[in-house]
Amino acid sequence: MAEKTKMKWNIKDIENWGWKKVPMGATIQEAGNAAYYKTGGWRTEKPVVDKEKCTNCLICWINCPDASIMVNDTKMEGFDYDHCKGCGICAKVCPPKAIEMQPEGGED
């Protein structure tokens, strides 16, 4: 994952900003900022892999819209739960059905 860089905007005194200081629309000023936001926080179901069934074909990795399949040395290693949104695409496309979607929070 990319190393975090310092955010450009200092909003400490935002209440004193005039309208001219507010950027146009809801613009995001920096590229490659997804790592700052833990989008997994609004997941209701999470993928769980059965490593006994997994063949490391990496079809889940190709299809994940959030780049949340962790791969090491061509092996599927699990999920980045900070950023996985729980869409279930990986479970749907997995040929041996090694991924199961489970309700979030059941283990806590």
Convert residues 88-107 into a mask of x (bound to ligand SF4 by CB under 6 A) and - (unbound): xxx---x-x-xx--------
Q: Which two tokens stand for residue 61?
A: 């990795």
SS3 content of the chain, % helix, strand, coil (to 5): 20, 20, 60
Work out how close the CB of 70 gets to ligand SF4 at its nearest, in angstroms, rounded to a whole number: 9
DSSP 22: S
Convert residues 23-52 into a mask of x (bound to ligand SF4 by CB under 6 A) and - (unbound): ------------------------x-x---
* Residue 33 vs 55, nearer CB to ligand SF4: 55
Torsions phi, psi of 101, nearest 5? -85, 125
Neighbours of 58 (CB within 10 A): 14
How many chain residues touch ligand SF4 (CB under 6 A)? 26
